Structure 1
Amino acid sequence: MNYRRFLPNLCTAMNLVFGMCSILSTAEGRLDRGAIFILLALVADGLDGRTARFFGVSSEFGKEMDSLCDLGSFGIAPALLAWTFALHSYGYAGAAAAIFFAVCGMWRLARFNVNAAVVHGYFMGLAIPAGGNLIAMTVWLLLSLGVDPHTFGIAVPIVVAVVGYLMVSCIHYPDFKGGGEKIYLGAKTAALVVFAGMIYLGHAAALPAAFAALFATYAIFGIVNHAIAAVMPKKEG
């Protein structure tokens, strides 16, 4: 067995294993576990690429595996989690939001694969692992705080749909690898305010609050940074 190829593929497979564990936990009514398994899928997703680069065995096969696993773990599993947690109470609107989120995840992955050779230095649209975990960590936070999501009314399916849209949008999200999108002070300030606010409001459930704040901050940071870049005067060549 070629362990150099086996280990990255094992990490990729564990991504889907955790995604399936999330789906099964959600089906059993263990929504907190369902959310945590989506976070663990993110850890596995982060390890597969790093392991492949470390061993120098990146392949098209591995890339296809990664996309398929991501759709299950960060597209379908969070949609089902959100549906079971709250969206089922909104009838057709809730069903549409859950389906829209999953379809946007599929679209995001397909576009990423097609544009991988031409898009550098930033992510076009919110990455599906971030989008899926934003939904999952928010569910975990509300569960931990004992907050009834129905108090937010129609905002619940709207927020799920908006997160789905962010994944297929043309908003440039910095990849923080350097040499990509310029990061503006205004975006940093907005991100800090959002993060601090969520930590303060969710302090009774510190761990889920921290994770939810992390993903919410990144989602909002990209929007603000992209908006500032759009209105800033362009340097003439």
Structure 2
Amino acid sequence: MNYRRIIPNLCTASNLFFGMCSMLATLHHDFFWGSVFILLALVADGLDGRTARFFGVASEFGKEMDSLCDLGSFGVAPALLAYEFCLHAHGALGAAVAIFFALCGMWRLTRFNVNASVVHGYFMGLAIPAGGNIVAMTTLLFTQLGVDPAVFGVSYPLLMAIVAYLMVSHLHYPNFKGDGGDKLYAAAKVLAALMFLAILYAGRAALVPAVFVAIFSTYAAFGIVNSLFLLFCKAKRIEP
């Protein structure tokens, strides 16, 4: 038995462990831990690949295991969290959005695995850990601020559906691996910085969750804006 595989596999298993803890906490209406466990799953998800490469034991088995855990922790767990926290109040619409989020997460992971050898330098669509943590950290922020999401009306399920769609979109998101990719436009960076500061200001009474909401939400918005600039510049270059 290759014991060097144990550590990365334990990290991957911890990802789903925290995802399951989130779902159990959510079912007990403990939205604080339901949110925090999804963030902890992200930490575990970030460690498994790094430890596998460090020990030289990266494998197809590990990649498949990672994807299955990601679906549970960042697809199903956030969908359940959002449903119990707010979406249930919207009846069939809320149930449809929760299911749509989980399905988009599944689609995103499958497409990533299939395109891993041909897509380089960027992520095609919002990564599922980011999408799941937008939901989780927003829930945590609202919980800490004592905000009732019902005041947002249908805006909440609408925004969650948009996040779900971003995961399966063809928008390009930077992967921060330094292996090339699309140009990152200064205007998009400025708009992202302004959005980041605005979120911090709005959530200043609960600064820690506000920082996480700002990080994940700004990243999601940056991909939209930067992709629009990219399309505009390409269109200008092909004009006769």
**Shorter-chain-normalised TM-score: which range?**
over 0.9
In the TM superposition, what whole-angstrom CA distance separates every residue of 1:176-235 from its partner, at most 9, and x where no partner exists? Answer: 222112100011011101100000010000100000111000000110000000001348
Deviation of 1:4 after TM superposition, in Å, equals 1.1
Structure 2 portions without partners, runs of 5+: none
Q: In structure 2, what is the equivalent of residue 105 of structure 1?
A: 105
1:73 matches 2:73: yes
**Structure 2 counterpart of 1:51, one-letter code:** T
TM score, norm. by length of structure 1: 0.98
Please give the alpha-carbon distance, in whole angstroms, between the structure 2 residues aligned to 1:202 and 1:117. 40
Please give the alpha-carbon distance, in whole angstroms, between the structure 1 residues aligned to 2:190 and 2:3. 45
Please give the alpha-carbon distance, in whole angstroms, between the structure 1 residues aligned to 2:177 and 2:73. 25
Q: In structure 2, what is the equivalent of residue 224 of structure 1?
A: 225
Q: In structure 2, what is the equivalent of residue 191 of structure 1?
A: 192
In the TM superposition, what whole-angstrom CA distance separates every residue of 1:161-186 from its partner, at most 9, and x where no partner exists? Answer: 11000000000001122211210001
Between 1:200-209 and 1:172-181, the stretch displaced more is 172-181
**Structure 2 counterpart of 1:182, one-letter code:** K
**Once superposed, what is the RMSD of the aligned Cα atoms?**
1.1
Please give the alpha-carbon distance, in whole angstroms, between the structure 1 residues aligned to 2:192 and 2:50. 27
Please give the alpha-carbon distance, in whole angstroms, between the structure 2 residues aligned to 1:18 and 1:127. 18
Q: In structure 2, what is the equivalent of residue 215 of structure 1?
A: 216
Please give the alpha-carbon distance, in whole angstroms, between the structure 2 residues aligned to 1:7 and 1:86. 37
Q: In structure 2, what is the equivalent of residue 60 of structure 1?
A: 60
Deviation of 1:45 after TM superposition, in Å, equals 0.2
Q: After superposition, where does 1:145-156 map in structure 2 within 5 Å?
A: 145-156=145-156
Q: In structure 2, what is the equivalent of residue 51 of structure 1?
A: 51
Secondary structure, aligned partner of 1:182: coil
**Structure 1 counterpart of 2:115, one-letter code:** N
TM score, norm. by length of structure 2: 0.97
Q: In structure 2, what is the equivalent of residue 117 of structure 1?
A: 117
State the identity %. 66
Deviation of 1:2 after TM superposition, in Å, equals 2.3
Q: In structure 2, what is the equivalent of residue 204 of structure 1?
A: 205
Please give the alpha-carbon distance, in whole angstroms, between the structure 2 residues aligned to 1:9 and 1:38. 18
